Chains A and B, each alone.
Chain A
Amino acid sequence: MTDSISTAKVGGDKAQRAGERRAGLLLLTPAFVLMNVVGFFPMVYSLYISLTDYNPSHGGIARFVGLGNYAKAFFDLQYWHALGLTFVFVTLSVTSSLILAVLLSLLFNMRYPGFFLLRTIILIPMLITPIAVGIVWRVMMMPDLGVLNYILTVIGLQPQLWTSSSSTALLSIVLVDIWQWTPFMFLIVFAGISSLPKSPFEAAAIDGAGAIRVFFSITLPLLRPVIVIATLLRIVDAFRTYDAAFIMTRGGPDFATDLVSVYLQRVNFRVFDLGYGSALSWITLVILTVIILIFTKLSGFTRIISEKEGR
């Protein structure tokens, strides 16, 4: 990996030929236009909207209100509740699926016959449309008729209320998220485990290290870059979870699953308070960015990437 990148780097300088000074910029232009017209311009526009009281259902005249929306957001307990729930949701879902993914990778790394087929089957959940995932889990979680409660009673456990009770609703959608996205983590962690060098393990075997010692002192440190990348992507995606929660609970019961994206959808598209909704969007974006920056700092992500970039 590093080899190919370093040769490409040396070549990159040589590639420039006479009369090609503008070629690179020309090639970047389509992507640049797409990014700015569809991406950054609407975001800047949204910053402007967030300073107004724009609401199309009130006649659609935008009056400038300064930082009024941001001040209002500060005291919006419903929003902070939603943000708190999202933190809990992301933390529970990402840690559980990471642990599960590492365990699965160790298990499937034994490479017995038939494991390739099983691994392929395990991949499927992450490919299913999240709306379909929400539908099928809602069918399975019906408290009176659902198959999950049937299975629980058959193996002698208490049936659950799942998404119908405010005490188990959040855990239920966490379970669905774990089900859908553990395969994603597993795929990446497994790729990491498969490409680990052999020699440290041979050395450990000669030194007579036990399996648990080997795992914590060799496997895990070597896997770290891969785990960091998978976790970062998963945090970003878990933070925006909307589809399955929308289908299964719509934020209920009693706001127990009112994730940030569900709450923002309600502010923006149920009451069309677009000025206020834009302010909340920007606050959310800033908070997400801070979380990502803290994570990249703590996990050494920037170092991993710059090592990969080889420059």
Chain B
Amino acid sequence: MSAHRAPIRRFSKMILVYILALLATAFFAFPIFWMITASLKSDQSITTYPPVWVFAPTLQNYVKLVEELGIMKMFINSAVIVGLSTCLAMVCGTLAAYALARFDIRNKQLIAFEVLSIRMLPPIVSVVPMFILARWLGVFDTYWLLIAAYALSGLPFVVWVMRVFIQDIPQSIEEAALIDGCSRLEAFWRVMLPLLLPGLAATMVIVFMFAWNEFLLASMLTSNAAKTLPVIAANTLNAKSIAWGMASAAGVIMSLPVVVLVLLMQRYLVRGLTLGAVKG
């Protein structure tokens, strides 16, 4: 009797699991679907009720973003600021991680936790002194200010994640290179770096993501010349008549690079996000 019913039970359990999994996925996917479709709707069809599900897609929102708001300029601003700050954080952070992983340094732990404390610092707290000092130094609304700020906020990720990646590479590999006559620098460049590349790429994606999506510092420390994408997207809602279509299109444009990059680098995502504490 039970031998007959076991496959049926297993089958109905499987159906139930699939239904739950699909429901959960729908909850997380629906707003994204809605953002993409809203960006392809005309403003009339966004504000019709009941909502339209089938409509003639139009690219007019994207065209307006480029022509009326000049979003290309902000895209370039974002790319330059985030690109340079990510590189800066990667270089400074990887050097520090190498030092912490391989050298005897006094108060190693203390230094590591000092770096970590930056991760805890809320930007709303650091933005005020940065604002005052930036105006005083004349770097307000320039690339340099945001580059420095984002490099700093990326630093704890790079130091902690790269430290774990470096520790995972056996010391003996590097020592072999040193015995073969490489200098310390050559050993790092020729032996360690190739092995660290996946880790570096994964960390870079995380740092890129946080800087690219950052809004608070960008909105307070820029006024015009160095505006980034999230700032201009927020501005589309400030106008008297809110341009929902344009706002959604801006949302799609700014989210796309991060989604693509991170999904390509999914493998080390957990390790990166937990600053190396959890292995993915």
Contacts and interface: CB of A to CB of B under 8 A. Distances in A.
A140 B32 CA distance: 11
B230 A129 contact: yes
DSSP class of A's interface residues: helix, strand, loop or mixed?
helix
B215 A242 contact: yes
Nearest to B259: A127
A30 interface: yes
A203 interface: no
A31 B93 contact: yes
Contact of B129 (A43, A188, A195, A233): A43
Contacts of B123: 240, 242
Given A31-B155, A107-B24, A129 B103 contact: no
B105 A25 contact: yes
Instruction: Count chain B CB atoms within 10 A of each CB in A108, A133, A139, A187 and give the residue with the most.
Output: A139
Interface stretch (B1-9, B54-62, B110-118): B110-118
A17 B278 CA distance: 32
A208 B170 CA distance: 43
Nearest to A261: B124
B31 A137 contact: yes
Contacts of B244: 135, 139
Interface string A5-18: 10110111111110
Interface stretch (A64-72, A214-222, A282-290): A282-290
Interface in B96-117: 96, 98-105, 109, 111, 114-115
A129 B212 contact: yes
B171 A12 contact: yes
A98 interface: no
A11 B173 CA distance: 11
B50 interface: yes
Interface residues of B, number: 106
B195 interface: no
B274 A188 contact: yes
Kindly name the residue among A25, A191, A264 whose own CB sees the greatest number of chain B CB atoms within 10 A.
A191
B240 to A, nearest CB: 16
B126 interface: yes
Contacts of B118: 35, 39
A4 interface: yes
Given A123-B263, A139-B244, A128 B32 contact: yes
A299 interface: no
B69 interface: no
Contact of B14 (A112, A120, A137, A268): A112
B121 A285 contact: yes
Contacts of A246: 215, 234
13 contacts: A7-B171, A8-B171, A15-B171, A15-B175, A20-B184, A31-B92, A49-B132, A104-B24, A124-B259, A125-B31, A147-B51, A246-B215, A261-B122
B220 A269 contact: yes
Contact of B18 (A37, A112, A145, A264): A112
Contact of B95 (A28, A130, A292): A28
